[in-house]
Amino acid sequence: MVASHTDRRAAPDEVVDLALRMVRGDAEVLYLSRDAALTRFAGSRIHQNVAEHDATLRLRVVDDGRTGVASTNRLDDQGLAEVVARAQEICRRSAPNPDQPPLAAADAGCGESDLGFVTATAEAAPDRRADGARAVIAAAQAANLVASGAFSTEASTIAIANTNGLRSQHAATQAKLLTVMTGEDRASGYAQAISSDIGAIDAGAVGEEAADKAVRSVGATDLEPGEYDVILEEYAVQTVLEYLSYAGFSALAVEEGRSFMELGKQVMGANVCIWDDGNDPTGLPTATDFEGVAKHRVDLVTDGVATGLVHDTATARRAGVPSTGHALPAPNTFGPLAWNLFMAPGSSSKETMLSSIDRGLWVTRFHYVNIVHARKGVLTGMTKDGTFLIEHGRIVRPVRNLRFTEEIPAAFSRIDAIGAQTKMVGAEYSGINARVPALRIGRFSFTGATAAESGE
């Protein structure tokens, strides 16, 4: 009898074991399932509303220095047999590579974990997401604004097994609500909430935060680019850390000379501590990486000194250290990645930061950030959804969006104050989420502006 895909999804450990038994020789099986739904609103109405159910099995076969990887989302007997045959065939035809990463050891796994799995999130019905959207829309309408945004819920399972005897499995959920509200004169405001638990998402509060920001953004005027002391809200700080992770927190990035990190060297200010921890329940936990290695906390920057890098089995072997559990799915030429980031809080409040600035800018968030020069940690991007001029310790007016181009490690050496509170912020699309405080940074470099006559 051919087992149905749905049956198999209920027992990922059985799927990976079955696939492993079908392989001759050494192999690793990675199973990923995702049940996701998203209610999207724009123009203060729901305009897109979707759900998807998928599960993929990815098989890595290793034989005499040769490796082949094949994946399928057909999990019936025929689909499994076919993916095994494809992986073995591509392995047989490939060329040997003595530096291929080894399969993770049996004792490197995380066992079975459901840290960060909340049943209410997994079972959230479309009505619940619609209610959240309506609460945000109501907050917008009360302030004479237009709401756009998305309310998503997701349950995912990752299961990995290999012929060394490793077994790792982690089930998790995520609920995320974000909105951009717009008003007259292109005013806009942003807010976001993200949690494993949909019950922790306060849609009304998200709506009110964005509405407040949008209302205060009405009447934005031009501001000359230049160096300004800034307050970066948590949304902006998460984005900066996300791109620092891409640019330099991985061992392979350092090996290949594309990172600003140099272990043991002071790379940021002494008040900066950044780490990655997939097991911290105040983040969005991921107990295992995609090779099945249990995730370990890695202190990346401690008191401003580069103290750690994230590893997968390949970089770990070359460095002679254990993997930290940060592998992406094999095969992966990009290297390991830190995606559960934390930045240590300080002792300041945003009000205190504000009062200490004679002339500067309040930045709610950044848009379309990209790496200009990875080795130096230079990023560029635009401010968005609430940028305000500060004079004499007070916000005096909203300003039009500005472009920054900044060497971030150097900027993080000019952090004057760090917020005492941290906020969990979800990445726009990368999955590199971060719990971060707000920051006050001196002389942040803004290199361009979009003037009113350009249509801004």
**Which 94-123 residues touch other proteins, going by CB under 8 A?**
94-100
Q: Which stretch binds other proteins (CB under 8 A): 86-94, 105-113, 281-289, 350-358?
A: 86-94
Restricting to residues 19-48, name those near other proteins by CB under 8 A: 36-48
Pick 134 or 311: Cβ nearer other proteins: 134
Least CB distance from residue 387 to other proteins, whole Å?
A: 12
Among 141, 137, 121, residue whose Cα is nearest residue 40: 137
From 208, 234, 242, 406, residue interacting with other proteins (rule: CB under 8 A): 406
From 18, 19, 70, 327, residue interacting with other proteins (rule: CB under 8 A): 70
In whole angstroms, what is the distance from residue 189 CA to residue 194 CA?
Answer: 17
Residue 239 backbone phi and psi in degrees, to 5: -65, -40
Among 81, 108, 112, residue whose Cα is nearest residue 19: 81
From 113, 121, 152, 422, residue interacting with other proteins (rule: CB under 8 A): 152
Nearby residues of 40 by Cβ (< 8 Å), 6 or more positions away: 46, 47, 48, 49, 50, 149, 150
Restricting to residues 187-226, name those near other proteins by CB under 8 A: none
In whole angstroms, what is the distance from residue 418 CA to residue 352 CA?
Answer: 10
Pick 81 or 396: Cβ nearer other proteins: 81
From 167, 311, 403, 440, residue interacting with other proteins (rule: CB under 8 A): 403
Is the previous residue joined to 409 through a cis bond, with omega within 30 degrees of 0? no
Residue 125 backbone phi and psi in degrees, to 5: -90, 160
Over the window 321 to 360, marking each residue x when it contacts other proteins by CB under 8 A and - when it does not, the resulting string is ---------xxxx---------------------------
Q: Helices in 67-149 by DSSP H: which ranges?
A: 77-93, 119-122, 126-142
Q: Does position 71 bind other proteins by CB under 8 A?
A: yes
From 49, 164, 266, 352, residue interacting with other proteins (rule: CB under 8 A): 49
| Residue with the two structure tokens 């000019």 | 414
Least CB distance from residue 11 to other proteins, whole Å?
A: 15
Restricting to residues 363-392, name those near other proteins by CB under 8 A: 367-376, 378, 380-382, 384
Q: Is the dihedral of CA 428, 432, 437, 439 positive or negative?
A: negative
Greatest pairwise CA separation for the chain in angstroms = 76
Q: Does position 130 bind other proteins by CB under 8 A?
A: yes
Nearby residues of 219 by Cβ (< 8 Å), 6 or more positions away: 185, 187, 397, 398
Q: Which stretch binds other proteins (CB under 8 A): 61-69, 214-222, 232-240, 413-421?
A: 61-69
DSSP-assigned letters across all residues of 353-374: HHHT-SEEEEEEEEEEEEEEET
Q: Does position 74 bind other proteins by CB under 8 A?
A: yes
Bridging pattern class, strands 45-63 and 26-42: antiparallel
Neighbours of 438 (CB within 10 A): 26
Pick 168 or 383: Cβ nearer other proteins: 383
Pick 67 or 162: Cβ nearer other proteins: 67
Q: Is the dihedral of CA 18, 23, 24, 25 positive or negative?
A: negative
Q: Does position 427 bind other proteins by CB under 8 A?
A: no
Pick 48 or 144: Cβ nearer other proteins: 48
Q: Which stretch binds other proteins (CB under 8 A): 146-154, 211-219, 319-327, 336-344?
A: 146-154
From 166, 180, 231, 390, residue interacting with other proteins (rule: CB under 8 A): 180
From 12, 116, 149, 386, residue interacting with other proteins (rule: CB under 8 A): 149
Restricting to residues 249-288, name those near other proteins by CB under 8 A: 256-258
Q: Does position 150 bind other proteins by CB under 8 A?
A: yes
Least CB distance from residue 155 to other proteins, whole Å?
A: 14
Pick 342 or 444: Cβ nearer other proteins: 444
In whole angstroms, what is the distance from residue 175 CA to residue 155 CA?
Answer: 9
| Residue with the two structure tokens 């902006």 | 236
Q: Does position 55 bind other proteins by CB under 8 A?
A: yes
- What is residue 202's three-state secondary structure? coil
Pick 165 or 204: Cβ nearer other proteins: 204
| Measured CA distances, 32 to 20, 41, 171, 172, 325 (Å) | 15, 28, 10, 12, 17
Q: How many residues bind other proteins (CB under 8 A)?
A: 104
Least CB distance from residue 162 to other proteins, whole Å?
A: 17
From 123, 131, 185, 391, residue interacting with other proteins (rule: CB under 8 A): 131
| Residue with the two structure tokens 């500005």 | 402
